[in-house]
């Protein structure tokens, strides 16, 4: 199977570095979430991998080969970069047939991907009548047309309805399960957490993290414990005796920060505190991401004077 290799990659636009000495690999069999603030260089990196732009320095290859040297590129890598790319006056089916013919892909794949992306019933409508979500689906259909080993999608959930969001999650998991190399950029942290195994995070064109998603979160967010009791005074003093600080919430549950659920359970039980509810609160990708990128954002929102 094919991986994406980015090596010492740099891209300057008019002296400004959009991508700055990047090195990472995207491996087959897992979904890699591609994260970073606006302007971090995600789209530029994808464009460089697809040969749509030339690097100032370094290389971006697929299975060791530069995109322009691939003999039948759509069969090796499918990408969604810009959902507006399809010609508005064509039907979705014609758009895909043109792509299939020019890449020597059998016509039956057109019907398969239309079916896969839920567009079969609207395939004879002109693309200009499509909603943003339908265009996204069409872009994904085009990316999958050549049954490629590598799939790169730039913000695929954009414009999708709730059902579409569940669909894309399942699609990405399936593609990775089939052993493909899947790179997906997104600004939606809950979404990314639901489909990614691994993360590559950029900030100002540089690599900030290249790590399994679970490790990324665990390294940055301390776990906490949620607990509810009918005897708050007893809970508070039992926790205090063990050096834990607890915060009470209006709905009468408590959060114990920097704590593990096993330890808090034992403390409560040993002190005879009646426990109505006890749960581990895992750190979220969103918390970990903000922890990493807060100092890196290219555009930070300035508080407005009232």
Ligand X SMILES: Nc1ncnc2c1ncn2[C@@H]1O[C@H](COP(=O)(O)OP(=O)(O)OP(=O)(O)O)[C@@H](O)[C@H]1O
Residues forming contacts to ligand X in the complex (CB under 6 A) are 13, 18, 36, 38-44
Q: Can you list the alpha helix ranges (DSSP code H) found in the chain?
A: 42-49, 73-76, 92-102, 108-116, 132-144, 162-177, 189-195, 213-220, 232-241, 261-270, 285-293
Tell me how far, at minimum, the Cβ of 46 lies from ligand X, in Å: 8
Tell me how far, at minimum, the Cβ of 221 lies from ligand X, in Å: 23
Tell me how far, at minimum, the Cβ of 271 lies from ligand X, in Å: 50
| Nearest position to ligand X, beta carbon | 18
C-alpha to C-alpha distance for 305 and 292, rounded to whole angstroms: 28
By C-alpha distance, which of 229, 241, 240, 305 is closest to 273? 229
Determine phi and psi for 150, rounding to 5 degrees: -120, 130
Determine phi and psi for 64, rounding to 5 degrees: 85, 0
Q: Which contiguous run of DSSP H or E holds residue 303?
A: none
Tell me how far, at minimum, the Cβ of 204 lies from ligand X, in Å: 9
Determine phi and psi for 218, rounding to 5 degrees: -60, -30
Q: Smaller CB distance to ligand X: residue 76 or 158?
A: 158
Q: Smaller CB distance to ligand X: residue 44 or 181?
A: 44
Tell me how far, at minimum, the Cβ of 228 lies from ligand X, in Å: 40
Q: Smaller CB distance to ligand X: residue 153 or 267?
A: 153
């Amino acid at each position: 199977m094919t991986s994406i290799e980015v090596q010492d990659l740099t891209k300057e636009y008019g002296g400004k570095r959009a991508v700055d000495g990047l090195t990472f690999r995207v491996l087959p069999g897992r979904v890699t979430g591609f994260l970073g603030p606006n302007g971090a260089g995600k789209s530029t990196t994808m464009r460089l991998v697809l040969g749509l732009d030339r690097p100032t320095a370094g290389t971006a290859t697929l299975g060791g080969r530069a995109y322009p040297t691939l003999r039948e590129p759509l069969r090796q890598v499918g990408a969604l970069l810009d959902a507006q790319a399809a010609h508005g006056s064509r039907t979705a089916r014609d758009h895909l047939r043109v792509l299939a013919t020019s890449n020597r892909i059998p016509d039956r794949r057109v019907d398969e991907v239309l079916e896969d992306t839920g567009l079969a019933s609207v395939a004879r409508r002109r693309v200009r009548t499509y909603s943003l979500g339908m265009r996204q689906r069409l872009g994904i259909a085009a990316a999958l047309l050549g049954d490629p080993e590598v799939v790169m999608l730039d913000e695929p959930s954009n414009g999708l309805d709730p059902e579409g969001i569940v669909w894309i999650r399942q699609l990405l998991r399936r593609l990775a399960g089939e052993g493909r190399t899947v790179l997906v950029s997104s600004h939606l942290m809950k979404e990314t957490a639901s489909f990614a195994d691994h993360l590559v995070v950029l900030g100002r064109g540089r690599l900030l993290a290249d790590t399994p998603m679970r490790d990324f979160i665990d390294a940055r967010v301390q776990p906490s414990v949620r607990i509810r009791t009918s005897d708050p005074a007893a809970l508070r003093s039992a926790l205090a005796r063990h050096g834990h600080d607890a915060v009470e919430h209006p709905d009468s549950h408590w959060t114990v920060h920097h704590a593990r659920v096993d330890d808090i359970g034992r403390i409560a039980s040993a002190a005879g505190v009646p426990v109505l509810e006890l749960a581990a609160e895992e750190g979220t990708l969103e918390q970990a991401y903000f922890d990493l990128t807060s100092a890196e954002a290219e555009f930070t929102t300035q508080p407005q004077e009232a």
